[in-house]
Amino acid sequence: MTPHQQADGSASAPDGLLTEAFAQFPAPAMLTDSEGNILWANRALCELSGYAVEELLGHTPSVLRSGRHDAAFYRQLWDTVRAGRIWRGDVIDRRKDGTLYVVEEAVAPLRDAQGAIRHFVAVQHDITQREARREHEHYLAYHDVLTRLPNRAMLDDIAQKAALSALRSEQPLAMMFLDLDGFKAINDTLGHHVGDQLLAAVAQRLQSGIRRSDTVARIGGDEFAVLLADLDSRASAGLLAQKLLDALARPFQFRKHRFTIRASVGIAIFPSDATSIDALLNQADQAMYLAKLQGGQRYHFFDQGDAQRRKKPAAPRQETHGPDKPGQAHKPEAASRR
C-alpha cells in the first residue's frame, strides 16, 4: 500500500495538502469537536462572518447566531447530526459587525475508525443576495411602490383573517373605500410627478389617522381602502371617516404648489352588509359613489337600497354625512404660484 493509499484502497492526500485545500475552499466551512467547539475555520467563513480565525477557535457556532431562530431550531439541528445524520437547512447568521446574512448549510458528523462520532463539519453557501431579491419580490407583490402602503393583494389577506376573527368574536369590522375628488386635474395640469407626491402625502396622512389595529391600502390610482378591525360600533366607523376627511382637507404644500383636496368615503360593515371581502369592498365602493354624487367631502354608509339609488341619483340619500351645502370638486390653490 503506498503512503497515500487508504486501507480500503481509496486514494488519500497528504495532510498538508488537505489542510491547504480546505483553507482555500471557496465555500465557508468549519470543523468542530463532538461538543461543538470550533477547531478550524477556513478563509471563506472568516470573510463572510467578519471574524478572524483566532476569534472563532474554541467557541461554538453560537457566536454566529442572529437571534432569528428559536432554541427548537438549533436543538433539531444538533439532534440530527448527533444521531449520525446530515442536517441541511437555511440559517440566518450574524456577522461580527452586527449585520445579518443567510446561508444554505449542511452539517455532517465525522466518525473515527471505530465508528464513533468525533467531529462535525459544516459547509455553507451564501444566499443573502438571493434571499434579498426574494424578499424584495415578495414586498412588490404585496405593497404599492409609490406610497409603500399595502396593495389590494395584501389587503385581501389581512381582511380575510380579520373577517374570521370578527366572526369568532362577534365584533363587526368595517371597510372604507376612499376616492380623491378631482385628482385627475392635478395630473393633467401639473404633471404626474406632482400627482405622485400628493398621493404619497395622502397615504401618510391616512396612516397617521388610523388606529394600530386598522389597515390602509392603496387599491387604485387615487383610490384607498381602510379596514377597521375590532369595531365597537357603526358610529365609530363614521367618526374615523370624518377624522380622515378632516385630515385630508388640510392644505398640502409642495414647493410652489399648494392644494386643498376633497375626498369621498363609502363604508360597508361586515357581516351585516356582506359576508365576503370582495362584496364588502364593492359595497363600500357603491357607498363612496353616492357620497361623491352629493359633492364629496363626506362619507356614506352602504345600505341595500344603494344599487337602486346609483341608477336614480336624484332619489333621497340616507346616512350621508358631510357639509350641508356640497361644494365643488377640489381645486389646486395657486397651482402654479411663482
Q: Within 10 A of 194 (CB to CB), how many other CB atoms are there?
A: 18
* 179 included as an active-site residue: no
Q: Identify whether the C-beta of residue 310 lies closer than 8 Å to the C-beta of residue 290.
A: yes
- Looking at the structure of the chain, the number of domains it has is 2
Residue 232 has which C-alpha cell? 365597537
Does this model's pTM top 0.75? My answer is: no
Q: Is the pLDDT at 330 greater than 70, yes or no?
A: no
* Residue range 56-61: mean pLDDT, rounded: 96
Same domain, 304 and 171: yes
Considering 88, 104, 133, which residue would you say is the last residue of a domain?
133
Same domain, 82 and 163: no
Considering 100, 133, 166, which residue would you say is the last residue of a domain?
133
Tell me the pLDDT of the chain averaged across its residues: 88
Fill in the DSSP letter of residue 255.
T
Side-chain-side CA neighbours of 76 within 13 Å: the count stands at 9
Q: What is the pLDDT of residue 305?
A: 75
* Residue range 183-192: mean pLDDT, rounded: 88
Distance of CA 58 to the CA centre of its chain: 39
- pLDDT tens for 265-313 read 999 999 999 999 999 999 999 999 999 999 999 999 998 876 665 554 4
Query: Is 48 inside any structural domain?
Result: yes
Q: Is the pLDDT at 338 greater than 50, yes or no?
A: no
Same domain, 150 and 266: yes
Residue 296 has which C-alpha cell? 364629496
Q: What is the pLDDT of residue 22?
A: 76
- Rg of the chain over all Cα atoms, to the nearest angstrom: 31
Q: Within 10 A of 316 (CB to CB), how many other CB atoms are there?
A: 8
Classified as helix, coil or strand, 175 is strand
Q: Is the pLDDT at 229 greater than 80, yes or no?
A: yes
Query: Is 3 inside any structural domain?
Result: no
- CATH number of the domain bearing residue 26: 3.30.450.20
d(CA 118, CA 38): 13
Band (228; pLDDT cuts 50, 70, 90)? very high
Q: What is the pLDDT of residue 320?
A: 58
Residue 54 has which C-alpha cell? 483566532
Query: Is 139 inside any structural domain?
Result: no
Query: Is 1 inside any structural domain?
Result: no
Considering 109, 133, 157, which residue would you say is the last residue of a domain?
133
Which of residues 247 and 313 earns the better pLDDT score? 247
- CATH number of the domain bearing residue 170: 3.30.70.270
Q: What is the pLDDT of residue 322?
A: 64
Q: Within 10 A of 108 (CB to CB), how many other CB atoms are there?
A: 15
Band (252; pLDDT cuts 50, 70, 90)? very high
Same domain, 149 and 288: yes
Q: What is the pLDDT of residue 316?
A: 41
Fill in the DSSP letter of residue 10.
-
Q: Is the pLDDT at 12 greater than 60, yes or no?
A: no
Q: Is the pLDDT at 115 greater than 70, yes or no?
A: yes
Q: What is the pLDDT of residue 258?
A: 86
Q: Identify whether the C-beta of residue 92 lies closer than 8 Å to the C-beta of residue 73.
A: no
d(CA 288, CA 311): 14
Query: Is 236 inside any structural domain?
Result: yes
Q: What is the pLDDT of residue 114?
A: 94
- pLDDT tens for 63-114 read 999 999 999 999 999 999 999 999 999 999 999 999 999 999 999 999 999 9
Q: What is the pLDDT of residue 190?
A: 87
- pLDDT tens for 270-279 read 999 999 999 9
d(CA 266, CA 285): 6
Q: What is the pLDDT of residue 248?
A: 95
> Of the candidates 174, 148, 155, 151, which has an alpha carbon nearest to the alpha carbon of residue 236?
174
Query: Is 45 inside any structural domain?
Result: yes
Look up the domain containing 282 and give its range: 144-333
State the catalytic residue, choosing from 222, 273, 285, 306.
222
Same domain, 83 and 56: yes
Query: Is 338 inside any structural domain?
Result: no
